[in-house]
Structure 1
Amino acid sequence: MSASSSPRDINMKVNNLFSGMIIGSLALAITGCGSEHKTNNDLLSEPFDYQALLNAAADGEIPGVVLYIESPQFYFYGAAGMADLNDKTPMPIDARIPNGSAGKKLTALLAAMLVEQQKLDLDQSISNYLPAEMTSRIDNAASMTIRQMLQHSAGLFDYLNDSNGAFYDAVVAEPDSIKTDVFALQFALDQPANFAPGQGWSYSNTGYILTGLVLDKVLGTHHSQAMRKQIFEPLGLHSLSYGGLEKSYGSIVPGYFHTADAVVNTRQYYQNIGVADAPVVGNAEDMALLLKFIVEGKQFSHSIHQLLMSDTSFISTGLGSLLYSYGLFKETINGKQVIHHGGRELGYATYNFYIPDTKTTVAMLVNCNGYQACDDAHNALYQKVISELTQ
């Protein structure tokens, strides 16, 4: 952070950009300094020079980038550019960043596991799980189900997009305190609903915040412990950790945002945020494998896979042909079905998608986000990657 810019000054310049970052996440090398690591399937030659693509991106507006691609026919894992602009540290392929809303699939997966264990009923009102002093301050709580919250059909006021930057004002004001679901929920209490539960579709991070609190109630402890014991460790996803609460599992790389007169390293804010709508910190490989495991379903029971991935689980968003299940979107891109959900935070972007036709799983991480030059650059990079993989 520039010495000439106070946290409050910076926050005033950026808090109105967050809505664009959240909505944007719905759709889907520095010469001599950058790292260039790649491994290809021995059976096939590389169909496209992804490393050159990464190098070119990191020669432009993007500080650093990591790309992981895996299919039965092809494998690529590469990085370019820098993880840290101050000490010129090259971007490693195992870089860990806050993955934003790409982590919603973890909250949904844990909920599905608890359903199978008969500890959770998705069609129960949230009033059956949460205290009256909380639900009395949430419109339609008595008729709102956990399923609706997970599918964004509950009509909830969004504590991020609808609060005019209040959450981020609070984060910047106290960067060193841990922010969990209870902290985030305060920015959605006593706010009007967008519609009655089940009567529409509107992306709301608040639904996942409330789901996190329900999971805590069911488990009798914070749900991060169950994520570790039931998901991270059994699946061998060793880079994944719960944001803010599991710092001992590794640090995150700096994330960069540009204002008119400062380059802001946003890591100081995100290392203390741990919320169920954006729960996870991790590397590209593990995010790609997590999505693969959920879509293919081989790591889970049939009932869990059906709950998350059956055709009837995906509902209309009202946004063209875009469908939404539990933490995942589905749409047709270039004639091929794509399952996806990315994540955008101030200073970080995650792209995460799976192409069933070719069994291709992909994750791309970038350590800048929230300003036009960077956003345009990493979106163009994503468009090139997905174009190559869906042609």
Structure 2
Amino acid sequence: MSNIFWSFRGPLLANFFLMIILLIGACSDGSNPPTFDSHTSQLLQNTLDTSLATLGVPGAAVTIIRPDGAKWVGVSGLSSIENNTPMVPGLKFRIGSLTKTMTAVVALQLVQEGPLSLDASVESILPGVVPNGANITVRQLLNMTSGLFNYTDDVPIFMTTEITSGVLHNWAPSDLLAIANAHPVYFAPGEGWHYSNTNYILLGLIIEKVTGNTFTQEVTSRIINHLGLNNTSIPTSSDMPPGSTQGYFWYAGTRYNSTKADPSFGWSAGNAISNNDDLAVFLTAVINGSLLDQQRNTDMFTFVNDHGVVTQGDDAIYGLGLYYFSPGWLGHSGDFIFGGQASLYGYNGWMFIVQTNASPPNPIEGVHNGADYIWSTLVTALGLPI
């Protein structure tokens, strides 16, 4: 296993190095595995129930893993409103932008193997696909410094086509890029930072162009099969696999069952399906560096701030497919526009996986992502820094 942490300098080093030590320790076998005590378990369940009620979403599933390996699994609410079916552990969800971390790993493996370069321009790989592609690099796509418009910010297109019309539209990547290209860029490449799904649609196309395989094939072989993620998939249709929760969405005051919304609108930026157990395995592999060599891990864990400037301080925001939050939280959040939200974060050996089967039906001040909100309340309940 490569050890990425020796290559860090500054305040990020201690947090990441401690995290890897604690994660390795958590994997050790013992005859009496540690557990959460009953008081803490009840505290976490009460916190989850209260948070879910505050958000007004149907259901949620949570897994928390302590540095010593103790695991708490909690569920709340319903997996199906129509059938009044309670949420249960192990169900599969659409994980939204957690897909990006998988996409980033595949791209970095291709850099590691030679057919792709982080400094290659988009134009050199995908001629004519985006304006100014000659000045946008693969690295800038990965760390969100390209300046390209985020196509999902053109929300009315998706609302009218997918949900309110009841029509399952299959979006080609070119359709999604056309939406982005119709809008001005946020800034010149490398001159700022702005979250944009458009970057990761381009990365999906680059992966396909470089390998000659589909995005689904590459993620499946390199990550899903490699790690034995039996409850994870990259869908090629709107069908959810057996053992999945229903998904819901509110628009203009009306609730829609959006379980079969076509995930092609998220594709390599957000179409994956998984459950909490698989996501814990995946995040562990990302953090311990086992999916990449030392140089590529160093690249992945090189963060920029909101000005797009590389930083080793607490102003860090985003690496290559990973968020960083002071004082050391590492992971990603996800928002499947038509069906749920997810959070996947690690901190000093702790791991939190939160998934909901809907976004909050009404705006809540200070809440952008419902799963992130639940995560923050659980972190606070445990007395961890946030």
Sort the TM-score into its range (normalised by shorter chain): 0.7 to 0.9
Q: Which residue of structure 2 aligns with residue 327 of structure 1?
A: 321
Letter in 2 for 1:210: L
Within 5 Å, which residues of 2 pair with 1:152-167? 152-161=144-153, 163-167=154-158
Aligned to 2:353, the other structure's residue is in SS state strand
Letter in 1 for 2:331: H
Greater Cα shift, 297-306 or 97-106: 297-306
Deviation by residue 1:202-252 (Cα, 9 ceiling, x = unmatched): 111111111111111111121110100110011111111113449585464
Deviation by residue 1:32-64 (Cα, 9 ceiling, x = unmatched): xxxxxxxxx843443453233334445662311
Partners of 2:139 and 2:170 lie apart in 1 by: 28
Equivalent in 53, 58, 67 of residue 63 of structure 1: 58
Deviation by residue 1:62-85 (Cα, 9 ceiling, x = unmatched): 311100112332211222221001
> Cα offset for 1:372?
2.1
Q: Which residue of structure 2 aligns with residue 361 of structure 1?
A: 351
Greater Cα shift, 368-377 or 295-304: 368-377
> Cα offset for 1:118?
0.7
Partners of 2:41 and 2:205 lie apart in 1 by: 45
Using a 3 Å threshold, how does the CA distance of structure 1 residues 142 and 168 change in structure 2: closer, same or farther? Answer: farther
| Residue 118 (structure 2) pairs with residue 122 (structure 1) | yes
Q: Which residue of structure 2 aligns with residue 234 of structure 1?
A: 226
| Residue 198 (structure 2) pairs with residue 206 (structure 1) | yes
| Residue 299 (structure 2) pairs with residue 315 (structure 1) | no
Using a 3 Å threshold, how does the CA distance of structure 1 residues 153 and 273 change in structure 2: closer, same or farther? Answer: closer
Q: Which residue of structure 2 aligns with residue 97 of structure 1?
A: 93
Partners of 1:204 and 1:379 lie apart in 2 by: 19
Gaps spanning 5+ residues in structure 1: where?
1-40
Greater Cα shift, 91-100 or 291-300: 291-300
Q: Which residue of structure 2 aligns with residue 195 of structure 1?
A: 187
> Cα offset for 1:385?
1.1
Report if the CA contact (8 A) 2:143-2:319 is conserved.
yes
Report if the CA contact (8 A) 1:123-1:145 is conserved.
yes
Using a 3 Å threshold, how does the CA distance of structure 1 residues 274 and 243 change in structure 2: closer, same or farther? Answer: farther
Equivalent in 266, 269, 282 of residue 274 of structure 2: 282
> Cα offset for 1:103?
1.6
Greater Cα shift, 244-253 or 290-299: 244-253
Deviation by residue 1:145-198 (Cα, 9 ceiling, x = unmatched): 11111111111111112x353244333457334334233222112432221111
| Larger RCO, structures 1/2 (Cα 8 Å, 6+ apart) | 2
Equivalent in 227, 238, 245 of residue 253 of structure 1: 245
Partners of 2:356 and 2:155 lie apart in 1 by: 26
Greater Cα shift, 375-384 or 220-229: 375-384
Within 5 Å, which residues of 2 pair with 1:11-22? none
Q: What is the aligned-residue identity percentage? A: 25
| Residue 360 (structure 2) pairs with residue 381 (structure 1) | no
Report if the CA contact (8 A) 2:143-2:320 is conserved.
yes
Partners of 1:118 and 1:98 lie apart in 2 by: 32
Report if the CA contact (8 A) 1:99-1:348 is conserved.
yes
Equivalent in 30, 43, 51 of residue 45 of structure 2: 51
Partners of 1:260 and 1:126 lie apart in 2 by: 38
Q: Which residue of structure 2 aligns with residue 291 of structure 1?
A: 283
Aligned to 2:184, the other structure's residue is in SS state coil
The TM-score normalised by the length of structure 2 is: 0.79
